[in-house]
Amino acid sequence: MANTKSARKRIETNERNRVTNRYYKTSVRTLTKLFLKTLEDQTPGSKEKLQTILNSIYSFLDKGTKKNVFHKNTAARQKARLASRLSAVS
């Protein structure tokens, strides 16, 4: 365990940041899996569902980039790949 007060504070800060980072990363991963599964199982009316899922992914990626969870190029690459997958099916 930490000896100094500042080291204890750093441990608390790191834990808080770890939880926040994990929330954004797992949310993006889960929504991406849902998006790809919905993309494979095309049904009537799934276009709107796909768009809402994609908007949610964009939101998490942008907010995560703003909080330095994701690098800006990583977020841009993921957004571009998902958008191209959607446009290829449409």
- pLDDT over threshold 70, residue 11: yes
Taking the C-alpha atoms of residue 50 and residue 68, their distance in angstroms, rounded to an integer, is 27
Report which of 76, 28, 78, 83 is spatially closest to residue 56, judged by C-alpha positions.
28
What band does 43 get if pLDDT is binned at 50, 70 and 90? confident
- Round the average pLDDT of the chain to a whole number and report it: 94
What are the residue boundaries of the structural domains of the chain, listed by start?
A: 5-89
Percent of the chain residues past pLDDT 70, beyond the cut: 99
Other beta carbons less than 10 A from residue 25's beta carbon: 14
pLDDT of 90 reads 67
Which of the pair, 28 or 46, is modelled with greater confidence? 28
pTM metric for this prediction:
0.89
Cα–Cα separations (whole angstroms), residue 49 to 35, 41, 65, 80 = 9, 12, 24, 18
What band does 54 get if pLDDT is binned at 50, 70 and 90? very high
Annotation: CATH topology of 5-89: Methane Monooxygenase Hydroxylase; Chain G, domain 1 (1.20.58)
